[in-house]
Structure 1
Amino acid sequence: MPPGDAPSSAPAPSRARYNRIIRFATGVMIQAWWFELVLPRIGLRRVAERTRARRSQRIATRFRVLAVDLGGLMIKVGQFLSARLDVLPPEVTSELEQLQDEVPAVPFVEIRALAEAELGVPLDRAYAWFDEVPVAAASLGQAHRARLADGDEQIAGFAEVVVKVQRPGIDRIVETDLAALRTIGARLSRIGFVADRVDAPALVEEFAATSREEIDYLHEGVNAERFAETFADGARVAAPVVVWERTTRRVLTLSDVTAIKLNDVAALRAAGIDPREVAQAFAGAMFDQLFGAGFFHADPHPGNVFVTPHAPDGSGRTWTLTFIDFGMMGQVPEGLRDGLRKIVIAVAARDGTGLVDGIQRIGVLLPGADTSELERALTALFARFGGMAFGELQNIDPREFRTFADDFGAAMRELPVQLPENFLLITRAVSLTSGVCSALDPAFNVWEAIDPYAQRLLREESRNVVTDAAKSALGYASTLLGLPPKLDVVADKIDRGALSVATPEIDRRFDRLEALVRRTIAAVVFAAMLVGGALLLPAASVVAVILMGASIVPLAFVLAPTRSRALRRARRAGPRRPGSSGGR
């Protein structure tokens, strides 16, 4: 079995699960290779294009069936893809979005056994009431409504709760799925084009760490409290309260915040809530997390965000975005956050050069890359499509899109692209946000949503520029004040002939150039003597033999190791006399 494959010691069910995932991924990759690479090269591009929609839907259906059957991390992959309304065709997203609600529930007898083992008491003692029918069944666990016992209610200040209970055996399922992903990552790393741009094994390990955190409900409880302290103002964003007395690693009890599902447009309108306003508020809340605090909800799919209506109370608040499920949270390092801010400002300003600079700052482009063609393509993109909403883009001639796509493809293929660490969850959060907003409002204009944050970031940048300029001025002043005494020292050394100037890098470059020239000349002489001797051999054998034998001398010079010019010069000069300045 190849390295990275499932260990032979794995139980049969885990091995069978592992093999199903690998077979499916391998089949999709082979099909993509055949239709997207082979057929266009043999003149059958139209065949590939004509069958693409049907093939995409068939693959999506097969994956949905596989994910529902297997559960575990495969559901997470499907949920991510189902939110990519901005880039995936509707035949794919409509198929995969069923994964939000189609996960089969675990029988209650198994849930009861796990919960009682975790809490250490029977359910009827831990809760005054516990609904056997789950309110939601997710890929890693399921949620049940319950009511706190009197003592816990007095401590918490509320009675109605939702209890999350892990799926029995989920630890083993997650490890099997991660083993399959590691194998796929290892195989991708052997493909030069992929390995040059993405460290697939590193991405798998990043995903593995996140997945293990997600099945630790104590970790999720801490994340929920941190999120509430950072973002939950009660007016626009809210979060549930953790009941720590009834929380363990596998059981999590939270205040019941169930309300209108984020993407339920009909229910929103029935409650008098404008879906367009919800899209703007949701985008704003995610921008605050990503570009502000740098601590963000990395799984904001519609099942994890509610819209909670409020009765008029004079404050103007009529509804609130309520986030749940804080198992998958991400953090943006300061350096990466700076690059993202540059990107936001550049997008708002329709600045192709600034956008490329931001992309370089976050590490997607390797240092030294020639970005002129990419800048040209981005400038053309902003000039043609800048300011358009998603709905307006649907009216553009597909051939025009294809032209821009070809330009971008050609520009990106020439660049050394990589996917930096800490970027997987950011990409996921941005993709989900984009998809949800465009579903709520087909005319959603990302330019308008991002403009307030770009303006705020520009103001912050201006303050930083003033601060940096002041620091630079102080540095220059300090340098100027220190120059006179340093110049005195240098002048004194010149007067005494004690100034030594060393240029080791220049010496090394001249050494290499000199050696190259000498070897080239010697090689030409060797070839001339050898060929000349061979040509004279029939007519003047003695001269020919002498020439061919003498050619060994320049050949030996070509093959012999060279010594640096500085070393040869030192040997010619002999031992240095005491007191010598060594200057040139």
Structure 2
Amino acid sequence: MTSDQAVAPASRPAATPATRARYRRILRFAGWNLAVTWWYELFLPRIGLASVAARTRSKRMRRFAQRFHALAVDLGGLMIKVGQFMSSRLDVLPPEITTELEGLQDEVPAVPFPQIRALAEAELGVPLETAFASIDEVPVAAASLGQAHRAVLTAETAEHTGLSAVVLKVQRPGIDAIVDVDLAALRRVGRWLTHVRLVSDRVDAPALVEEFATTSLQEIDYLHEGANSERFAEEFAGDPRVTVPAIAWERTTRRVLTLEDVTAIKITDAESLRAAGVDPAEVAPVFAEVMFDQLFTNGFFHADPHPGNIFVTPHPDAAGERPWHLTFVDFGMMGEVPPGTRKGLRKLLIAAASRDGKGLVDAIQDVGVLLPTADTAQLERAMTHLFGRFGGMGFAELREVDPREFREFAVEFGDVVRSLPFQLPENFLLIIRAMSLTSGVCSALNPTFNLWDSVEPYAQQLIRDERGNVVQDVAQQALEIAGIAWRLPKRLDSLVTRVEEGDVAVSTPRLEQRVGRVERAVRRLAAAVVFGGVVIAGAIVHATDAVLGTVLLVASLIPLAFTVFTGRRGS
């Protein structure tokens, strides 16, 4: 997909009566709710009626979410995707909205099979009876952008692909036009939001819409989804925890995707898992670890890991320690974490596991969520207080906490958090969505699941990995300092030569003596820095590798001796 496709013009698409009605309905909904928000949140406080706005806020938010839920189910298309995105925005949206929308799924009726047949045959260029030995006309899944049917490949195609039982995924007819209309309406709403300081101070709405547009356009390109699937499979090649369905490229186009049928037990179907001899409580930490690997190590992650896209596939005859594995499907919505952001996320995870409030705030700044100008002292205090009171608690334990404690915390620190200049780095919406869905799936598998139980060992492994990086950094810096110190006398000698030749006007008869003192001082300083760096590296490594740690500690004696004896000679 080209950048021109990803960022389409903000103009309205070619109009038909249906698209015009859809476009106007979306804008009417957005316009009315923006007007209501302006009245209560901006106008009333200006005339001294802030208490009225505060008293009705919870009810208004809930009614908005309910009306949007109804709109999304009725319209389908990208409106359901918008609702799903909103449900994951726990960072900026109140719980009255996220709770109402968190159950929003693709609640749309299936497309009649004759329409699916017509589109698939036009894409594949052959009748379905030629392409498949059989096909089930009853869809296995119907979504807002497409629907899926089970099928069996012909013997010839099966021989070429190595597949037999497959799932045929076909776009909903006319979905391209619906996506164009929805994106045009959302872009216009995004421009409106730039004039609402309540929103524009917190987020770049047009940029957010464009990120959503890019993801949506990729999601309706099944060639892109197939390529994502194969890349994801390569990332986990040889990993017994994860499998990915193979793609039948001979029967795949931009609007039709044919893939291996890997249907198994839905990850949150606890009853079926137990019947298959799988303990749901054992699945939760493995799923969390796999998602952590994607976000913090691989940098290429499944951004839509809701229960319908993750299966648990039992294999009781396996000789390994885990007689089941996770099967991921639907790779239309994927995200990438740039190396810089990934490093910041690793730092954030380590700080969270260590209950380090200041480290957490530093990591948030590194990731780019906070602007560099933000005054973070109060936020550090809030995070320290949060860790001190609630750190390490699982969801079940948090539910037992007196709600008044949460309210007191919100009153004390809510204004601090809301006043900070937050921004959303690229792809951060998808990261938040992935982690939110991961948390929800783990809690559904085990209500007492404590995410810290998975975070802490993973963070400890990251710390061990980072130690190796620290040693490399210290060694590199020590070599750089040593190189500078070694080259400095030559530079000073060159300076003396230029002085003697009259290129530099200096009237100092004891210049050479002073240069000698500078040389010795700089070399002692460099040796001292190298000594300190090697000692620190040795101490860090010694915790996990006693032999290498001891070698480094002994090696540190060399620059120490140089520092001591050079100092004595020069005194």
Same fold (TM over 0.5): yes
Query: How far apart in 1 are the matches of 2:446 and 2:85?
Result: 19
- Does 2:178 align with 1:176? no
Structure 1 partner of 2:308: 303
Q: Distance in 1 between matches of 2:407 and 2:86?
A: 22
**CA shift at 1:40, angstroms?**
7.0
Equivalent residue letter for 2:218: E
Residue of structure 1 aligned with 2:262, choices 257, 260, 263: 257
Quote the residue 1:417 is aligned against.
Answer: 422
Q: Is the 8 A contact 2:345 2:363 kept in 1?
A: yes
Distance, in Å, in 1 between the alignment partners of 2:270 and 2:393 is 23
Task: Write out aligned runs for 1:433-452 (5 A).
Answer: 433-452=438-457
In structure 2, the residue matched to 1:63 is 68
Are the counterparts in 1 of residues 76 and 106 from structure 2 also a CA contact under 8 Å? no
The aligned counterpart of 2:211 is: 206
- For residues 344 and 97 of structure 2, the distance between their equivalents in structure 1, rounded to whole angstroms, comes to 32
Q: CA 1:343/1:97 → structure 2, altered by over 3 Å: closer, same or farther?
A: closer
Structure 2 partner of 1:126: 131
| Counterpart check, 1:152 vs 2:179 | no
Q: Which amino acid aligns with 2:256?
A: V
Where in structure 1 are there 5+ consecutive unaligned residues?
502-584
* Matched length: 498
CA distance in 1, matches of 2:324, 2:53: 47
Task: Tell me: CA distance 1:271–1:53, structure 2 relative to 1, closer, same or farther (3 Å).
Answer: farther
Paired with 1:437 and 1:46, the residues of 2 have a C-alpha distance of 39
Q: 2:472 is matched by which residue type in structure 1?
A: T
Deviation at 1:383, TM superposition (A): 0.6
> Separation in 2 of the partners of 1:372 and 1:499?
50
Q: Is the 8 A contact 1:305 1:322 kept in 2?
A: yes
Q: 1:135 is matched with which residue?
A: 140
- Per the alignment, residue 360 of structure 2 pairs with 355
1:32-431 correspondence to structure 2 within 5 Å: 32-35=37-40, 54-81=59-86, 96=101, 99-100=104-105, 102-231=107-236, 233=238, 235-431=240-436
Mark the CA change 1:197 to 1:79 in structure 2 (over 3 Å): closer, same or farther. closer
Output the CA distance in 1 between the equivalents of 2:341 and 2:459. Answer: 16
- 1:121-174 CA distances to partner (integer Å, 9 max, x unpaired)? 101111010111100001111000111111112223331110000111111111
- In 1, Cα distance between equivalents of 2:443 and 2:56: 27
- d(CA) in 2 for partners of 1:265, 1:313: 21
Partner Cα separation in structure 2 for residue 271 and residue 52 of structure 1? 47
Shift in Å, 1:488: 2.4
Give the Cα separation in 1 of the matches to 2:238 and 2:294.
Answer: 13
Determine the C-alpha separation between the residues in 2 that align with 1:496 and 1:167. Answer: 84
Q: CA, structure 1 residues 299+500, in 2 after alignment: closer, same or farther (shift >3 Å)?
A: farther
Match of 2:30 among 25, 31, 36: 25
Which amino acid in structure 1 is aligned with residue 242 of structure 2? V
TM-score, with length taken from structure 1: 0.79
Distance 1:21 1:269, change over 3 A: farther
- Output the CA distance in 1 between the equivalents of 2:94 and 2:44: 21
Partner residue of 1:481? 486
Task: Please report how far the alpha carbon of residue 77 of structure 1 lies from its aligned counterpart in structure 2 after TM superposition.
Answer: 2.3
Q: Deviations over 1:64-85 (max 9, x none)?
A: 2211221111111233455679
- Percent identity for Structure 1 against Structure 2: 64
Q: Which piece of structure 1 moves more, 79-88 or 252-261?
A: 79-88
- SS at 2:169 equivalent: strand
Letter in 2 for 1:246: R
For residue 474 of structure 1, what is the amino acid of its counterpart?
A: L
> Once the two structures are superposed, what CA deviation does each residue of 1:509-568 show, in whole Å capped at 9, x if it has no partner?
xxxxxxxxxxxxxxxxxxxxxxxxxxxxxxxxxxxxxxxxxxxxxxxxxxxxxxxxxxxx
Aligned residues of 1:86 and 1:438 also touching (Cα < 8 A): no
SS at match of 1:290: helix
- Which letter maps to 1:435? G
Output the CA distance in 2 between the equivalents of 1:496 and 1:190: 68
The whole-number CA distance in structure 2 between the counterparts of 1:136 and 1:496 is: 87
Normalised by the length of structure 2, the TM-score is 0.81
Amino acid at match of 1:406: V
Shift of 1:12: 2.6
Whole-angstrom CA distance in 1 between matches of 2:477 and 2:281:
46
What letter is aligned with 2:105? Q
SS at match of 1:320: strand
Tell me which moved more, 264-273 or 359-368.
264-273
CA distance in 2, matches of 1:84, 1:5: 25
Instruction: State the Cα RMSD in Å.
Output: 2.7
Tell me by how many angstroms 1:323 deviates: 0.7
Residues 246 and 252 in structure 1, CA contact (< 8 A), matched pair in contact too: yes
Q: Which has the larger radius of gyration?
A: 1
Tell me the CA shift for residue 360 of structure 1: 0.7
Q: Which runs of no fewer than 5 residues in structure 2 stay unpaired?
A: 1-8, 507-571
